[in-house]
Structure 1
Amino acid sequence: MTLAALSRRTLTRLTAAAAGTVLLLSGCTDLGGEQESPSASEEESGAGQHAPGEQADLPLDDLGTSAAQDLPSDPASDPAYAEYYEQDIEWGPCEDLMAEDAECGTITVPLAWDDPSQGDIEIAVGRLAGSEQDAGSLVVNPGGPGGSGVDFLESVPYLFSPEVRSAYDVVGFDPRGVSRSAGIECLSDEETDQYRAETAEPGTAEAEEMSQKWGAKIAEACEANSGDVLPYLDTYSTARDMDVLRAALDSEKLDYFGYSYGTYLGSTYADLYADRVGHFVLDGAIDPTITMDELTAGQAEGFEKATSAFVEDCLENADSCPLKGDVEEGKQQLQAFFAAVDENPLDTGDPDRPLTGALARSAVLMLMYGDELWPTGRDALTAGMNGDGEALLNLADQSAGRQDDGSYRTNATYAITAINCLDHPGIADEQWQEQEAERLAEEFPTFGPVMGGDGCAQWPVPPLREPAPISAEGADPILVIGTTGDPATPYEWSVGLAEQLDSGVHMTFEGNGHTAYGRSGGCIEEQVDAYLLEDTVPEDGFTC
């Protein structure tokens, strides 16, 4: 079965919650620098001598300074920013959007929030107008980072209830650096194909050399083509942009729904503007206290657990499952399949694009984002294990937003790196990085071997933000949703964010896949809709 056999609802939900975030794995965007042996002084000081996975007291990468974090005044009341806060959106047709009745426009924001004289950038905005329009505007973000909020409007009819769509104008925007909003340009489409497909056995010297080559090539291309905007793509800056959008929508408070990375953006906004928080829903939450390495380790474990769940379900559907034995044996067969395709790529019907091991891993990884994809995944995996890689290639292309003509619909492959490398510093100890990579490969053997290493070591801009809790003291109730089997934003992160928020209300969906709203079968949707439409706050700890 190919992607053509998937339902429209499944594809759009995947686009909403997974297409960008699948690239969050550092191993998929590994820009690691050369791993050197520790010096004698480092050995004497104990650098790198911590237990596997332990990060306490280890130094983080040196931080730069965000142009948007600490401003001397509130831009909304500062005359220096009046031209931004007084603008209106001129709505018109959307040229490249498959969303009926959608309207598009732009807002203008300063490139550097601490110095508007450095110039402006335009942020692309789209909306689906509600028929009643009695609740105002609901701003949405699909995640990533790097997901297009304008494109996400195509998914809204399949995710949000008719009542919510009627009551609200649903508004999406492309964050700075993404797609239509001064979107960064890095490699060409042809080079991106090569990058995604190139394969070496994980953990080998060849794999390390390949990682170094592509890391340098991507960093150099992004800097050469978009170096003027790279230092200003952090989430503090995007949160400031979102407040300009709030004002342009004539909203006193911001009503907001964020998936995955969108929860990090939402909680950042809430911390900057607690008194402007309206209805806030954060689904598939990211804990703002974690380092880049904790993010990677959490996902390595999350995807290993999700793989076990997928294999168990596959074995229970033996008639359509290519795996045999128990769960552990099934996982070993899957890992052996990846290794075999590393050595001998599969025919896909396109002689220029065989299925390599890297593409096979991307395809199977995507299946972990939703158990509604598992039947299709079983069929694609069966075909692959029988020598036909076409269906798996289609899945891998869907995960990266590659279109039939060979172009990529968005720049998410590179925007995610540009934003993550500013938002999340990693451990600076190189020996520890090597040990951590070995630990991930050993403990989480399915995807852990491709996830270790400092994914931002070669990035041309230093990280700008220290991991720290967010309280948003004084904000109205904020819903935080976690899914127990979420591989990309592990459940524990939602618990952590809800506990940090002064007004956090935690909700649990007991299920598999990434995020809950739009795929929980109604139980989460019912509670969230009552909150959005009737101001009914769910009970903290609600579980379904």
Structure 2
Amino acid sequence: MHTRRRPRSLRAHRSLRAYGTLIAAAGLLVSACSTGHSTSAASPAGAAVLRALPAATPSELSAYYGQRPDWRDCGVEGFQCATLKAPLDYADPAAGDIRLAVARKKATGPGERLGSLLVNPGGPGGSAVDYLQSYAGIGYPAEVRARYDMVAVDPRGVARSEPVECLNGRRMDAYTQTDTTPDDAREKTALADAYKGFAEACGRRSAKVLRHVSTVEAARDMDVVRAALGDEKLTYVGASYGTFLGATYAGLFPERVGRLVLDGAMDPSLPARKMNQDQTAGFETAFRSFAKDCVRRSDCPLGGAGTPPEQVGKNLKAFFRQLDATPLDTGDADGRRLGEALATTGVIAAMYDEGAWPMLREALTAAMKEKDGAGLLVLSDSYYERGADGRYANLMSANAAVNCLDLPPAFSSPEEVEKGVPDFEKASPVFGEGLAWASLSCAYWPVKPTGEPRSIAAKGSAPIVVVGTTRDPATPYAWARALASQLSAGTLLTYDGDGHTAYGRGSACIDSAINRYLLEGTPPKNGKRC
């Protein structure tokens, strides 16, 4: 995820990480889902509602809630690490444990310590521990770090917390290069086979955890961590999918909500197809903003001054079609060439942060005019968290595992996708076809979904700040408005700008409002715009 990491020059970015919350090829499918431990009722609009768990901690969970971290040096200066346990299955705690990796950086002072501030960068599948050590623990405002112990826990199935494993190395390389805009029956079969192969590998290699990586279970884990840290209530900042995780926590434990910031918010009431289609429109909005900026600059390879965004999009699509027929050399040590799939992913990666737009222009210029695909490959690798050694982080595996468990699939067959493509192309002429076909992946998942779309009210909670960015590519602004209206104590904070999420990305107005809330407990006025 690393939503706030700024791009450097193209030449310096051989190990670039993604700029925004990373989403899988399947799309960012998140839902407010439930397990057998919560019940639902119909909302006035007819949607299900996530209901709170009993306030009293069940006796069979008392050992988990009674844990205390055994902090140790974890090899990064200033940070400590520990391992906590949670039940693999909350419905059957006797079935075994799952280990959760936790890290912290203690409050630096001066000032009275306010407790722990948990952070999550999103995904699902992003390592919160990595995020804490690379950004939040050193880059959050000094006044916040002075008063809070900065804490992160990798959610179950992610990174250091018993990670889901699927494809590795060369097989993952092949998977990321699969054509997601199939032109004929053979290519459609190849795409379906790729999704089946990925799902089968996950089921084979991660059988123990695959049924137990839902967002509800991860939210329950956060309450175990809260108790282990000795905090009466949870203070939390979550970005993108992290907003869904935080909102789910609030829905399950409203009386334990402290100060929650949900930045780049999700709408948990949406089914997978609607969510994917909305996100597709979000990437179109972001691309149009990029296109308008691009044509005003002398180094734009997609059009000159005055070229309308629609034509810029057509020019990019024409380039993608050329790559579909004739991939470009990249100089990659493993022989990978830049085809349409990797190029599209590279462009999407740059939509997360307007700071990446100069790099995207440079990469597109090299590819379109010099037949050098290296720059777009770097962007694509950053999105997939592929290292220079050819190894992938478990981001994409965990992303699929959580998404496919949280919601029924957007499409159940290639035939359904074909019928749905026009709606996706209407949402985005540039990305619609590929994102429609990418939404097929959960159809072949080896574990049945346990969740469904649910709204979250969290009645009785303290005020919760929901942040939305008007031209956010991955979490459209309408989702923030929807979540703020669902939450009984939600207050909406709006950033009128580009990029994914808002806190810590350069807006003094946003940062001061959130800092005041975290330090003083005073939320911004509902509807405040920056």
- Normalised to the residue count of structure 2, the TM-score between the two structures is 0.89
Q: Deviations over 1:37-90 (max 9, x none)?
A: xxxxxxxxxxxxxxxxxxxxxxx9xx9972554599748632211110111111
Counterpart of 2:26 in structure 1 is 26
Do the aligned residues in 1 keep the contact of 2:302 with 2:315 (CA within 8 Å)? no
> Shift of the alpha carbon at 1:322?
4.5
Contact residue 286 and residue 493 of structure 1 kept, 8 A: yes
> CA separation in 2, counterparts of 1:73 and 1:373?
43
Secondary structure at the counterpart of residue 303 of structure 1 = helix
Secondary structure of the equivalent of 2:303?
Answer: coil
Query: Letter of the aligned partner of 1:229 in structure 2?
Result: V
Written as runs of structure 1 = structure 2, the 5 A alignment for 1:76-225 is 77-95=57-75, 99-132=76-109, 134-153=113-132, 154-157=134-137, 159-199=139-179, 201-202=181-182, 204-225=184-205
Question: What residue identity is the alignment partner of 2:89?
Answer: A
Change (3 A) 1:69 1:237: farther
Structure 1 equivalent of residue 423 of structure 2: 439
Alignment check: 8 A CA contact 2:34 2:452 kept = no
- 1:202 and 1:152 map into 2 onto residues whose CA distance is 36
Letter in 2 for 1:140: V
Distance 2:34 2:106 in 1: 38
Q: Cα gap change, 1:336/1:524 in structure 2, threshold over 3 Å: closer, same or farther?
A: same
Corresponding residue for residue 34 of structure 1: none
**How far apart are 1:158 and its partner, in Å?**
6.2
| Per-residue deviation, 1:437 | 2.2
Distance 1:128 1:168 in 2: 9
Decide whether the 8 Å contact of 1:306 with 1:487 is kept in 2: yes
Q: Are 2:496 and 1:510 equivalent residues in the alignment?
A: yes
State the secondary structure of the residue aligned to 2:454.
coil
Q: 2:375 aligns with which of 384, 391, 394?
A: 391
Matched residue type, 2:356? L
Sort the Cα spacing of 1:193 and 1:454 in 2 relative to 1 into closer, same or farther, 3 A: closer
Structure 2 letter corresponding to 1:257: V
Aligned to 2:514: 528
Conservation of the 8 A alpha-carbon contact between 2:20 and 2:349: no
Instruction: Specify which of 312, 328, 334 is matched with residue 330 of structure 1.
Output: 312
Query: Displacement of 1:202 after TM fit?
Result: 3.7
1:440-519 alignment to 2 at 5 Å?
440-452=424-436, 453-519=439-505
C-alpha separation between the residues in 2 aligned to 1:130 and 1:204?
A: 58
What is the aligned partner in structure 2 of residue 339 from structure 1?
A: 321
Q: Verify the 8 A CA contact 1:3 1:394 in the aligned structure 2.
A: no
Q: Partner residue of 2:265?
A: 285
Which consecutive unaligned segments of at least 5 residues does structure 1 have? Answer: 30-59
Secondary structure (helix, strand or coil) at the match of 2:375 reads: helix
Q: Residues 167 and 27 of structure 1: is their aligned pair in 2 closer, same or farther, counting only changes over 3 Å?
A: closer
Q: What is the identity, as a one-letter code, of the residue corresponding to 1:5?
A: S
Aligned with 2:69: secondary structure?
A: coil
Q: What SS does the corresponding residue of 1:267 show, helix, strand or coil? A: helix
Task: Tell me the amino acid that sits aligned with residue 498 of structure 1.
Answer: A
AA aligned to 1:137 is: S
Task: Give, in whole Å, the separation in 1 of the partners of 2:19 and 2:309.
Answer: 30
Q: TM-score, normalised by structure 1?
A: 0.87
Candidates 403, 416, 420, aligned match of 1:420: 403
Contact 1:67/1:232 (8 A) holds in 2: no
Distance 1:210 1:504, change over 3 A: same
C-alpha distance in 1 between matches for 2:181 and 2:58 = 55
What amino acid does structure 2 have at the position aligned with 1:415? Answer: A
Matched-pair contact (CA < 8 Å) for 1:16–1:152: no
8 Å CA contact retained: 2:320, 2:343: yes
Structure 1 pair 370–189 and aligned structure 2 pair: CA distance change class (3 A): same
Structure 1: how far apart are the matches of 2:314 and 2:291? 10
Q: Is the 8 A contact 1:67 1:112 kept in 2?
A: no
Q: CA deviation at 1:235?
A: 0.7
**CA distance 1:183–1:200, shift in 2 (3 Å):** closer
Instruction: State the match for 1:49 in structure 2.
Output: none
Q: Which letter does structure 1 place at the counterpart of 2:475?
A: T
Contact 1:199–1:207 at 8 Å: present in 2 too? yes
Question: For 2:434 and 2:27, how far apart are their aligned partners in 1?
Answer: 5
For 1:299, which of 279, 282, 285 is the aligned residue? 279
Paired position in structure 1 for 2:46: none
Please list the CA deviations of residues 336-384 of structure 1 after superposition, one character each: whole Å capped at 9, or x if unmatched.
1111111111111126111121111111001110111111111111111
Alpha-carbon distance in 1 for matches of 2:324, 2:104: 44
Residue pair 2:411, 2:443 contacting (<8 A) in 1 also: no
Letter in 2 for 1:271: G
Mapped to 2, the partners of 1:277 and 1:350 lie a distance apart of: 48
TM-superposed deviation, 1:527 = 0.2
Q: Distance in 1 between matches of 2:228 and 2:56?
A: 11
Query: Cα 1:365–1:142, aligned 2, differ >3 Å: closer, same or farther?
Result: same
1:488: Cα distance to partner?
0.6
Count of residue pairs the alignment pairs up: 502
CA distance in structure 1 between the partners assigned to 2:460 and 2:35 by the alignment: 24
Are 1:315 and 2:316 matched, yes or no?
no
Corresponding residue to 1:244 among 224, 229, 232: 224
Q: Deviation of residue 231 (structure 1)?
A: 1.0
Matched position secondary structure for 2:198: helix
Output the CA distance in 1 between the equivalents of 2:7 and 2:502.
Answer: 22
Q: What residue is the counterpart of 2:9 in the other structure?
A: 5
Describe the superposition over 1:143-198 as per-residue Cα deviations: whole angstroms up to 9, x where unpaired: 00011100111111564111111111111111011111110111122211111123
Identity %: 41
Give the residue type in structure 2 aligned to 1:509. Y
Unpaired runs of at least 5, structure 2: 1-5, 40-50
Q: Residues 399, 149 of structure 1: CA spacing in aligned structure 2 closer, same or farther, 3 A cutoff? A: same
SS at match of 1:150: helix
Equivalent in the alignment of 1:363: 346
1:508 is paired with a residue of what secondary structure? strand
* Other structure's SS at 1:480 match: strand
CA contact (8 A) 1:338 1:361 kept: yes
8 Å Cα contact 1:197-1:358 kept in structure 2:
yes
Tell me if the contact between 2:28 and 2:276 (Cα under 8 Å) persists in the aligned partners: no
Aligned-pair CA distance for 1:102: 1.5
Out of 343-352 and 63-72, give the one that drifted further: 63-72
Alignment-derived partner of residue 47 in structure 1: none
Counterparts of 1:383 and 1:73, CA distance in 2: 55
**Given that residues 80 and 105 in structure 2 are in contact (C-alpha distance below 8 angstroms), is that contact kept between their aligned partners in structure 1?**
yes
User: Which range is displaced more, 517-526 or 278-287?
Assistant: 517-526
By how many angstroms is 1:428 displaced? 6.9
Deviations 1:447-487 (A, max 9, x none): 11111253311111122122121100010000000000011
C-alpha RMSD over aligned residues: 2.7
1:409-447 Cα deviation digits (max 9, x unpaired):
x21111111101111224678665432223213542211
The one-letter amino acid paired with 2:107 is: G
| Counterpart residue identity of residue 189, structure 1 | G
